[in-house]
Amino acid sequence: AQKITQTQPGMFVQEKEAVTLDCTYDTSDQSYGLFWYKQPSSGEMIFLIYQGSYDEQNATEGRYSLNFQKARKSANLVISASQLGDSAMYFCAMREGRRGYQKVTFGIGTKLQVIP
């Protein structure tokens, strides 16, 4: 089974509108962390937002918020007031908490295009 599933290969959004990028995850661990990264066409990986499995409140960072639904194992990224510079690949990732299991697993990504 895929650890991280991103079902939207591509998304379009009108500038200034909000958009939700879907992410579901699979883990049997109680302690884990969920991340979203942005990868513009230049290729670098930019950290956007983090949600811990024990955090009761949804994480927010500026225009980014993470809609965390633990029972459904989903961690959707919401971008409000989209800007042209938001056009990029977006990766959902998970870090599981077992000691010694240190890797972050990435989803396949969603390509977001913001339309003027």
Partner 1 sequence: EPEVTQTPSHQVTQMGQEVILRCVPISNHLYFYWYRQILGQKVEFLVSFYNNEISEKSEIFDDQFSVERPDGSNFTLKIRSTKLEDSAMYFCASSRADRAGTEAFFGQGTRLTVV
Site residues for partner 1 per CB under 8 A: 29, 31-33, 35, 37, 42-47, 50, 52-53, 91, 93, 95-97, 99-109
Polymer length of the chain: 116
Closer to partner 1 by CB, 32 or 67: give it.
32
Smallest separation, CB 84 to partner 1 (Å): 21
Nearer Cβ to partner 1, position 19 or 90? Answer: 90
Residue 84's alpha-carbon distances to 48, 71, 116, in angstroms, are: 16, 34, 7
- Residue 30 CB, shortest distance to partner 1, in Å, is 9
If DSSP codes are grouped into helix, strand and coil, which group holds residue 30? Answer: coil
86 phi, psi to nearest 5 deg: -80, -10
CB of 76 to partner 1, least distance (A): 18
Closest CA to 53 of 24, 105, 22, 94: 94
In this complex, which beta carbon is closest to partner 1, that of residue 37 or of residue 82? 37
